[in-house]
A and B are shown apart, each in its own frame.
Chain A
Amino acid sequence: EVQLVESGGGLVQPGGSLRLSCVGSGFTFGIYEMNWVRQAPGKGLEWVSYISSVGGTIYYADSVKGRFTVSRDNDKNSLYLQMKDLRVEDTGTYYCARDGSVAAAGYEYWGEGTLVAVSS
């Protein structure tokens, strides 16, 4: 069974940093592209970042570019999101999501999310 489990969320002050992790199991982690998607409380989905299967290609939403860094460790079946200079508007649930088996097939599997709260 495919599983994605996020961790690392919590309460942080504006300007602070946080590192999110996502561990995958039940599939060959290293052959799949991965993404981070977030959702502010009561709001819609916002794509945050993409990383290719071996980490050679990375994209970010303009709203986080220069502040967030995505990475992965395929030996540990893990995806990471290093977040710095956090803002109140970064508050929300952060999901990791795995691409489908076919190109441009959307995000077939999602974790349950980890909550990030940025507040003073």
Chain B
Amino acid sequence: DIQLTQSPSFLSASVGDRVTITCRASQDISKYLVWYQQKPGKAPKLLIYAASTLQSGVPSRFSGSGSGTEFSLTISSLQPEDSATYYCQQLNSVPRGFSFGPGTKVDI
């Protein structure tokens, strides 16, 4: 199975800061990685797919990069509404499944 790790697990930052979350895969997943944002009590929201493609409607301050085993999600200028937990997910491991990372909680 492909395992995903995220770092950090928690970060505290200020409005306007640039923050980066890293997701590492236990084996090469090419660019089959997506990022979600989840706020308490809500369903996740798709932010980035194919490692770096911004989902329609998502603010441009969000960006993704990486391929293979190392990926990152960057928020260029943190806003109050970005306080949430962020998850990466790999979509490469057919038929074993599409595992999620453990999440990174961002506090502002």
Contact = CB atoms under 8 A, between A and B. Distances in A.
Interface string B70-106: 0000000000000001010101101111111111000
A45 B103 contact: yes
Query: Which of A95, A102, A105, A113 has the most CB atoms of chain B within a 10 A radius of its CB?
Result: A105
**Interface residues of B, dominant DSSP:** loop
B49 A47 contact: no
A5 B99 CA distance: 23
Interface string A76-114: 000000000000000000010000101011111011110
Contacts, number: 70
Interface of B: 1, 32, 34, 36, 38, 43-46, 49-50, 53, 55, 85, 87, 89, 91-92, 94-103
9 contacts: A37-B100, A45-B103, A50-B97, A62-B96, A95-B43, A100-B55, A102-B50, A106-B46, A106-B49
Closest 10 CB pairs of A and B: A106-B34, A110-B43, A106-B49, A105-B49, A45-B100, A104-B91, A44-B103, A47-B98, A59-B95, A106-B46
